[in-house]
Amino acid sequence: MKLYNTLTRSIEELKPLEDDMVRMYSCGPTVYDHAHIGNLSAYVFADTLRRAISLSIPRIEHVMNYTDVDDKTIRRSREEYAKEEPQRALRLLTDKYITVFNNDMQRVGNDIGAVTFVRATDPATIE
């Protein structure tokens, strides 16, 4: 498989850094509202790319993040959960929209079981 390498600005053969495994990272949503079809198209592309790579490379690890803290998530959590303590309000909001996002991903046919999702606020993500 050949892909465009933005670093070298050329088309190159995909060569795993390890013999039989590719690691793939793709940006995920900021979880404060519903995704629209324009947002979902990026995730459909990532899913399609992962599936295509897996046809020729036996193992692929795909990680996608949820951006669960930023100005939009904080603002929306204060609006929707005004009576809650700020950290709890943020968690309630982001949990809600993570569930919505995962359901939308499945509805468009993405294999979310093949993706490891991480939150931007997870300590392991921060390290």
DSSP codes, 74-125: HHHHHHHTTTS-HHHHHHHHHHHHHHHHHHHHHHTT--GGGEEEEETTSHHH
Q: What is the mean pLDDT of residues 40-60?
A: 95
Categorize the per-residue pLDDT at 122 as very low, low, confident or very high, splitting at 50, 70 and 90.
confident
Least confident of 2-11, 14-23, 82-91: 14-23
pTM of the model: 0.89
Residue showing tokens 């790319």: 49
Stretch 41-49: mean pLDDT: 97
| 121 half-sphere exposure, CB direction, 13 A CA radius | 13
Q: What is the mean pLDDT of residues 73-102?
A: 97
Angle between helices 86-107 and 37-54 (to 10 degrees): 60
Round the average pLDDT of the chain to a whole number and report it.
Answer: 94
- Kindly tell me if the per-residue pLDDT of 125 is higher than 90: no
Q: What is the pLDDT of residue 58?
A: 82
pLDDT at 12: 96
Question: Once rounded to an integer, what is the mean pLDDT over residues 63-91?
Answer: 96
127, pLDDT greater than 60: no
